[in-house]
Amino acid sequence: MKTICFYFQIHQPFRLKRYRFFNIGRDHYYYDDYSNEDILQQIAGRSYIPANRMLLDLIRQYKGKFKVAFSISGVALEQLEIYSPEVIDGLRELARTGNVEFLTETYAHSLASLADPEEFKQQVAMQAERIKMLFDQTPTVLRNTELIYSDDIADMACEMGYSKMITEGAKHILGWKSPNYLYQSQNRPELKLLLKNSRFSDDITYRFSNYNWSEYPLTAEKFISWIADTPQEEQVINLFMNYETLGNLQPSYTGIFEFMKALPRFAFDQGIGFATPSEIMDVHKPVGAISVPTPISWTDEERDVGAWLGNTLQKGAFKLLYDIAERVRLCTDRRLKQDWLYLQSSDHFYYMSTKHFSGGHSNFSPYESPYDAFNNYMNVLSDFIGRIKAQYPDTVDNEELNSLLTTIRNQEIEIKRLELELKKVIGRNEEKLVVKQKDK
């Protein structure tokens, strides 16, 4: 039996305000609150809210046979809680059905996995805690920012205790192989990998309303027939996409909601079911291993990380940001910690891309040019670095910082040990007190 796995990504960055050189050292608030609220509320109204309602109706209509999965960045959750809490309410209602799985990712939707393993692990743990708190689920599947994956990231995932991960079915990695199977990491066989089917996913995300597409219009019946016509042994079809596909990237007038509503009926008629990523990875066995020596993603034709780290502007800003990571981890200032997370969002580097700027990349950028994006971000980063160095100056070298961090971590371990011992002592004393009272 063939199975469709629907996975939706929700992310919105905290966009930066126009921050000029003379603001450095004077203004420590970096965000464009008006744009952030306006954009999120527009997208929520057009996409998130009606899509939540539609998915809930489908789950109820088909009595639990229709299933989907979500990955929502921590910074998106923060904005939803502030500007559109009804979206969170809708997602909670979906979670209560038992037919919706929530994955974990980096809290800041960051590129930390490419620069700072410690930061990557901390953000994934932080995000898992947030998902547990909001949706009462403990994530078992890891989804890295922009589906970025490599052999090194596989090592980090396993070290964090994850045995399931989703990523892109990149052609230059798979070669003749099909993405419609479950795979495993070559260097960490215990890590199962579910791969995006780019053709079918992009048919919905990008080509659905394209009048020039030879297959336009795309109907649910036609789409399911394509899936049914795949080789019989290919049992898993992974449709991974941005949640904004429903209502924003593909506006409601294109018929995208009607398409989605009709999809399950035609699927079930063809004997095709639906499952979440963890269900598929629990049931199916890997058919082979894949090796990914250099990072892949789900962006651009090359499926690499060039959209964020493809030019000298991006690389320079990226290096400068993570050069101060150890100092940030030492500080206890909540405002600094918050800014650190918000400044790591991959979007800031995406806006600096000179790759196809006249095309798709510029459509999502609030800046006039990549250079404008770079200058604005660097001004903000300069102020942020100044605030960090005010607490931990350059006179303290990295070796001293590492030593201090080790001391702090050892102290934390010792404190936890002593707290546990204290609880045991209190417990024993309480037991003795109960015995004495009984003797009396």
Q: List pLDDT tens digits, range 177-192.
A: 999 999 999 999 999 9
147 and 171 in a common domain: yes
At 357 the pLDDT is 59
230 and 336 in a common domain: no
> How many other CB atoms are there within 10 angstroms of residue 415's CB atom?
10
Question: Which of the listed residues 391, 408, 432 is the one where a domain comes to its end?
Answer: 391
- What SS3 state is found at 273? strand
Residue 81 lies in a domain: yes
CATH number at residue 87: 3.20.110.20
At 397 the pLDDT is 58
125 and 55 in a common domain: yes
Fill in the amino acid letter for 304. D
At 402 the pLDDT is 60
Residue 311 lies in a domain: yes
Q: Which residues of 122-153 are buried (b: 16+ CB within 10 A; e: fewer)?
A: ebbeebbebbeebbebebbbbbbbbbbbbbbb
Residue 434 lies in a domain: no
Structure-token match 């995932």, residue found = 157
Residues in the chain: 440
At 391 the pLDDT is 87
Is 291 in contact with 82 (CB distance < 8 Å)?
A: no
**Host domain of residue 331:** 306-391
At 360 the pLDDT is 43
Residue 412 lies in a domain: no
Regions of the chain with pLDDT less than 70: 356-363, 395-412, 414, 432-440
Q: In 3D, which of 416, 392, 264 has the Cα closest to residue 328?
A: 392
In this structure, what is the dihedral angle of CA atoms 394, 395, 396, 397, given to the nearest 10 degrees? 80
With the C-alpha atoms ordered 12, 13, 18, 23, is the resulting torsion angle positive or negative?
positive
At 267 the pLDDT is 98
Contacts 24+ apart (CB under 8 A), 255-261: 255/217, 256/204, 256/208, 256/209, 257/50, 257/51, 257/54, 259/204, 259/208, 259/218, 259/219, 259/220, 259/223, 260/54, 260/58, 260/220, 261/54, 261/57, 261/58
Catalytically annotated residues: 146
**Phi and psi angles of residue 318, each rounded to the nearest 5 degrees, phi first:** -60, -45
Residue 429 lies in a domain: no
The Cα–Cα gap between 154 and 160 comes to 10
> How many other CB atoms are there within 10 angstroms of residue 202's CB atom?
15
387 and 275 in a common domain: no
369 and 245 in a common domain: no
